[in-house]
Amino acid sequence: MNLRLLLVVVSCVLSVVTGLVVSRSGSGPKTASRQRPLIGLSMDTLKEERWQSDRDLFLKKADELGADVAVQSANSDDTRQIMDVTSLITQKVDALVIIPHNGEAMAKAVAMAHEAGIPVLSYDRLITGCDLDLYITFDNVKVGELQAKFLADRIPAGGKLRLVRIYGAKTDNNAKLFKQGQDNVLQPLIAAGKVEVLHEDWADDWKPENAKKIANAALTKIGHNFDAILASNDGTAGGAIQALTEEGLAGKVIVTGQDADLAACQRIVNGTQTMTIYKPIPQLANRAAEIAVQLAKRRPIVAKAETDNGKIAVPSVLLDIVAVTQDNMRDTVVKDGFRKEADVYQGK
Ligand code: BGC
């Protein structure tokens, strides 16, 4: 990762990559007739809990910053997401924020937005193969590394850890990065015979029911003879835990996750899920709203990193993450106000 300080003058980026000339400090053509800038937020889905938090926090911050937001959610459908973006462009939004269902398919949306003179921020997931203006996310490789390190620390002395791996959606670039981070830690351990992967698969669209099918397939193939399920997020962990529950194995098998979803935090304190990764969504949503408002006003943005999206080095803002277990639940997600103690420890 290139960590050099990069001053990104968005107007210049736009003019270079799209041929548009946008005023550097003044309002672009679309803000002129409006009191408050209008930001378009195109989301993949609202079905998982985390994305509802992302939306609510983003809307709140944008409002505080004096901007309006038009939100669309595509229900995990690429055609629908392109239609959503088309509709936002028709509404003459001043900046677009996209959470792509499919990072590759949304390159077309970026090109359409640029043709209309609208800058695009890719939110959490990277849009690949296009002249993207900015990207904000967590350190996704590190997410995978922390999940795998957690397991590496639990290899039985003198023995090996028998593992089932559940990856996310193949259409999501993040899913590949999580796997890359996991591989960074696991490959040497697999080579040393300390970890054995007995079953692995990708959960289409990150759906819990698909993760449950993968766990069921593993149980059919290997019976109860495994120690851990490396689930890539809390939704897939939930699906896997349902399969374990049906076999009387919940709480006996280590299960990882990611997102600090309320249901996952509850499973952790109840002992059926072992860990999650807390990605401070308020930081992501707040910073993204700030950037989107700046983009809408055609102001320069400072980014410290770059991400290769297959076409350009996209100026990027990367946020840090933390692994959460029963031990530090109160000191992390609860302390941050991300989850209420009463909700997490409900009935305890
Ligand atoms: C996000 C995860 C999320 C997953 C499924 C990924 O791109 O980074 O936080 O759990 O998508 O929605």
Judge if the beta carbon of residue 139 lies within 6 A of ligand 1.
no
Spacing, Cα 197 to ligand 1 middle (Å): 23
pLDDT at 348: 79
Residue 172 reports pLDDT greater than 70? yes
The per-residue pLDDT for range 237-293, each reduced to its tens digit, is 999 999 999 999 999 999 999 999 999 999 999 999 999 999 999 999 999 999 999
- Sheet with 313-319, edge to edge strand ranges: 68-73, 38-43, 95-98, 120-123, 134-138, 313-319, 305-308
Q: Which residues pair with 74 in a beta bridge?
A: none
Judge if the beta carbon of residue 172 lies within 6 A of ligand 1.
yes
Spacing, Cα 56 to ligand 1 middle (Å): 17
Residue 31 reports pLDDT greater than 80? no
Each domain of the chain, given as residue ranges in start order, spans: 5-132+281-319, 140-279+323-344
Mean pLDDT (whole number) for 298-321: 94
CB 260 within 8 A of CB 283: no
Spacing, Cα 24 to ligand 1 middle (Å): 34
Q: Which residue has the tokens 């943005």?
A: 301
| SS3 of the chain: helix, strand, coil, percent, to 5 | 40, 20, 40
Judge if the beta carbon of residue 206 lies within 6 A of ligand 1.
yes
Judge if the beta carbon of residue 78 lies within 6 A of ligand 1.
no
CB 337 within 8 A of CB 158: no
Same fold, 5-132+281-319 and 140-279+323-344: yes
Q: Which amino acid is at 24?
A: R
Average pLDDT, the chain: 91
pLDDT at 302: 85
Pick the CATH number of 5-132+281-319 from 3.30.360.10, 3.40.50.2300, 3.30.1490.150, 1.20.1250.20: 3.40.50.2300
Mean pLDDT (whole number) for 176-200: 98
The per-residue pLDDT for range 206-221, each reduced to its tens digit, is 999 999 999 999 999 9
Residue 22 reports pLDDT greater than 80? no
Mean pLDDT (whole number) for 159-184: 97
With a threshold of 0.85, does the pTM exceed it? yes
pLDDT at 34: 80
> Any alpha helices (H) in the chain, and if so which ranges?
10-18, 49-64, 78-90, 107-115, 140-152, 173-191, 208-222, 234-246, 262-270, 281-296, 341-344
> How many residues are there in the chain?
348
Judge if the beta carbon of residue 171 lies within 6 A of ligand 1.
no
pLDDT at 26: 30
The per-residue pLDDT for range 80-136, each reduced to its tens digit, is 999 999 999 999 999 999 999 999 999 999 999 999 999 999 999 999 999 999 999
For residue 234, which atom of ligand 1 is closest to its CA? 10
Pick the CATH number of 140-279+323-344 from 1.20.1260.10, 3.40.50.2300, 3.40.50.10320, 3.40.1390.20: 3.40.50.2300
- What is d(CA 246, CA 44) in angstroms, rounded to the nearest whole number? 31
Name the residue with the closest Cα to ligand 1, atom 5: 206
